[in-house]
Amino acid sequence: MRCFHLIFLCLGFISPKLSAQCTYQVGNHNATFTNLDVLHEDFLLGVKYTVPYRGTITALNLFGRGTLANVQMALYEDSAGVPNNLITSSVQGTVTNGNISLSVTPTQLAAGDYWIMAVYDAGNRHTFRTTTVTKDVYYQAHTFGTSIPNDASSFLTYCCRDFRYWMTIDASDTIRGVDTIKSCGAYTWIDGQTYTVSDSTATHTLTSSVGCDSVVRLDLNVVNIDLTLTKSALTLTANESGAFYQWLDCNKNFAIIPNETNQSYTTNVDGNFAVEITQNGCVDTSACYEVLTGISLKEHDWKNKLSVYPNPTEGDFTIDLDVIMYQKLTVTIYDFTGKSIFSKAFYSGQSMDLRLDGKPGIFLVKVESETKGLQIAIPLIKY
């Protein structure tokens, strides 16, 4: 059997660096900003960040410069590039030197864009910032200590600032992504299991060197091609339906048989044959099947001149030699098992009228010139 197996892989999971607690940071936790702006008191202000995969937010953070002002942070949804509904807000804290983590009510976040904002009770250079044309700042006047607004869609905006803000995400036991695979035939996945049919429920846990789990789900599409053939008399039929077919001659190193691209193939010579099947992007080849006609044919010069008609026939038929004349011709008829059921010699004439009695079936009519060593066999169907 010749096989052409195509496997299409699309690994959809992302693997950022995780801590031992299976958390990761989104935003500017490692940034090296050096510029400073005065952030005025009683203004809620911030920028957008992207969460790569779902998890649970546990804290909002900033890098402080020791101004000792009070600060509170908030997280908003994104809607077409604009902050929208409030998701959660932090506890209040003090701007000390270094990393400041403000806890929030743990809230699950889907992958996507979110807005981190902060409000201070005094104006000062509370944190570092940078200039970037890819960031818009949204803000609104808001008295520190009052309830954080539930809707940010009407906030004002200005361009080109980013701050040392970030969020902490707990990604424990979270499906990080989907391993999408199309396989021609059985497929062995990273879990060591061999799948012979499509599957979209299997999961596998990958553990990092620090013990953090990443769960991957399998989305597998297995294309199985039926490579069996059914043989009936001189006809082979592929049992796989609705595909593309190309019949091959196994005795000639799997050479293509010209114009034989149907689901069935009928031969009038002995041989071994296979079919190449293309189905849903996969290509595979059947085993070779032997077909015996009981007749070994030589090359002849009657290919385009000798004819048998009518074919199919109810019984009476004619062999027409066109203009070719031979001293002696022998006509032999074989059934589908290769058994001779009729034989007669003819010594003159251009055509011969014959009758085939018995049950319907597929037969071979062999016409042979003993003097010239030539012969031809033509299938004949009786109904």
The alpha carbon of 253 is separated from its chain's Cα centroid by a whole number of angstroms, namely: 32
**What band does 372 get if pLDDT is binned at 50, 70 and 90?**
low
The pLDDT of residue 207 is 67
- Residue 107 CA to residue 170 CA, distance in Å, equals 10
Residue 99 has pLDDT above 70, yes or no: yes
Cβ-based neighbours of 315, under 8 Å, separated by 6 or more: 355, 356, 357, 382
- 189 and 175 in contact (C-beta within 8 Å)? no
**What band does 15 get if pLDDT is binned at 50, 70 and 90?**
very low
Mean predicted confidence (pLDDT) in 43-52: 95
Beta partners for residue 339, in sequence order: none
Q: Nearest 5°: phi and psi at 252? A: -120, 40
Mean predicted confidence (pLDDT) in 9-13: 34
Mean predicted confidence (pLDDT) in 59-87: 97
Mean predicted confidence (pLDDT) in 146-165: 96
- Residue 383 CA to residue 377 CA, distance in Å, equals 19
- Residue 377 CA to residue 295 CA, distance in Å, equals 8
Q: Nearest 10 degrees: CA dihedral of 125, 130, 135, 137?
A: 10
Cβ-based neighbours of 232, under 8 Å, separated by 6 or more: none
Mean predicted confidence (pLDDT) in 77-86: 96
Domains of the chain with CATH codes = 3-15+173-223 (no CATH), 23-170 (2.60.120), 229-291 (2.60.40.10), 307-382 (2.60.40.1930)
Mean predicted confidence (pLDDT) in 51-61: 90
Q: What is the DSSP letter of 185?
A: S
- Residue 81 CA to residue 84 CA, distance in Å, equals 9
Residue 273's H or E segment, with its range, is strand 271-279
Residue 373 has pLDDT above 90, yes or no: no
Cβ-based neighbours of 235, under 8 Å, separated by 6 or more: 264, 265, 266, 362
- Residue 47 CA to residue 135 CA, distance in Å, equals 7
**What band does 16 get if pLDDT is binned at 50, 70 and 90?**
very low
- Residue 48 CA to residue 278 CA, distance in Å, equals 49
Closest CA to 155 of 49, 96, 78, 218: 78
**What band does 299 get if pLDDT is binned at 50, 70 and 90?**
very low
- Residue 377 CA to residue 306 CA, distance in Å, equals 10
Q: Which two tokens stand for residue 168?
A: 């902490």
- Residue 383 CA to residue 371 CA, distance in Å, equals 34
Residue 120's H or E segment, with its range, is strand 112-120
Residue 21 has pLDDT above 60, yes or no: no
pTM greater than 0.85 (yes/no): no
> Regarding predicted confidence, which is higher, 170 or 45?
45
Residue 54 has pLDDT above 90, yes or no: no
Q: What is the DSSP letter of 199?
A: B
Mean predicted confidence (pLDDT) in 159-163: 95
Beta partners for residue 370, in sequence order: none
Cβ-based neighbours of 118, under 8 Å, separated by 6 or more: 39, 44, 45, 46, 62, 71, 72, 73, 74, 163, 165
Residue 117 has pLDDT above 80, yes or no: yes
> Regarding predicted confidence, which is higher, 350 or 307?
307
The pLDDT of residue 258 is 95
- Highest average pLDDT, of 2-11, 79-88, 342-351, comes from 79-88
* Average predicted confidence (pLDDT) for the chain: 86
CB-based burial, 323-336: b 16+ in 10 Å, e otherwise: eeebeebebbbbbb
Lowest mean pLDDT of 49-63, 128-142, 208-222, name the range.
208-222
- Residue 177 CA to residue 173 CA, distance in Å, equals 12
- Residue 266 CA to residue 279 CA, distance in Å, equals 22
- 189 and 77 in contact (C-beta within 8 Å)? no
**What band does 156 get if pLDDT is binned at 50, 70 and 90?**
very high
- Highest average pLDDT, of 126-135, 210-219, 367-376, comes from 126-135
The pLDDT of residue 10 is 32
Mean predicted confidence (pLDDT) in 44-63: 93
Per residue in 121-148, pLDDT (tens digit) is 999 999 999 999 889 999 999 999 999 9
Residue 305 has pLDDT above 50, yes or no: yes
The pLDDT of residue 302 is 57
Mean predicted confidence (pLDDT) in 336-346: 86
Could you tell me the CA-to-CA distances from 16 to 21, 25, 33, 54, 171 in Å, in that order?
14, 9, 22, 13, 11
- Residue 312 CA to residue 152 CA, distance in Å, equals 83
Residue 292 has pLDDT above 60, yes or no: yes
The alpha carbon of 212 is separated from its chain's Cα centroid by a whole number of angstroms, namely: 30
